[in-house]
Amino acid sequence: MSTEEIEPTKEVNRIYVESTIIMTTVRLVVPFVFAYGLFVMFHGADSAGGGFQGGVIVAASILLVGFAFGIDATRIWISELLTRMTIATGGAIFVLIGIGSVLNGGAFLDYPAYGLDKTGIKYIIEIIELAIGAIVSGVLIGLFFTLAKGDMRSGEDEQKSAESGQDQEATS
């Protein structure tokens, strides 16, 4: 009896292999990695760290989920709209706080222009760090999903497409 007769004929995704050990480990580790990323973002005003580093850690926790549970399943869970909204919200917060300081008579992101004490300024800096973290994590997650999906085309492909389009116009 051949193996073709025993195995059902279905399409198998050979890239993703489900592993109970990896899935369980990721379930246990990811909440702590995500919380650590937020910790790094929040403490960027007082110590080493900040929005960029924290955003990378948060994105890494989401990528771990993608590697453990499958990229397609994670892409459904973290939709493209959510990723874009995260980037847009972070950017909007950053710009609004910067413009707010300009409207108060200071330079862009000149926190003392708000007329707050050091504690108030610290909170504004933490909001900025969270906004930067949202932008960074959203961009990294979006890049990961785009590369995993294969949406990226090389410059040669685009040049060939443009040339074939010009050839078709010349023959018409």
pLDDT digits over 96-146, tens only? Answer: 999 999 999 999 989 899 999 988 888 898 899 999 999 999 999 999 999
171: in domain: no
Q: What stretches in the chain show pLDDT beneath 70? A: 1-17, 45, 151-172
Domain with 36, as residue range(s), is 15-149
Q: Per the domain annotation, does 160 fall within a domain?
A: no
Copy the structure tokens of residue 151: 């949406």
Q: What is the pLDDT of residue 129?
A: 92
Residue 51 lies in a domain: yes
2 assigned to some structural domain: no
Q: What is the pLDDT of residue 83?
A: 94
Distances (CA, A) of 112 to 46, 105, 107, 125: 17, 10, 10, 11
pLDDT of 32: 97
Q: Are 142 and 87 in contact (CB under 8 A)?
A: yes
**Total structural domains within the chain:** 1
Whether 107 is in a domain gets the answer yes
Q: Answer yes or no: is 48 within a domain.
A: yes
Q: Could you tell me if 77 and 88 are in contact, meaning their C-beta atoms sit under 8 angstroms apart?
A: no
- The pLDDT value recorded for residue 8 is 47
Mean pLDDT of the chain: 84
Q: What's this model's pTM, rounded to 2 decimal places?
A: 0.75
- For the chain, first and last CA: distance in Å? 58
Q: Return the pLDDT at 153.
A: 64
Inside any domain, residue 166: no
Domain contains 37 = yes
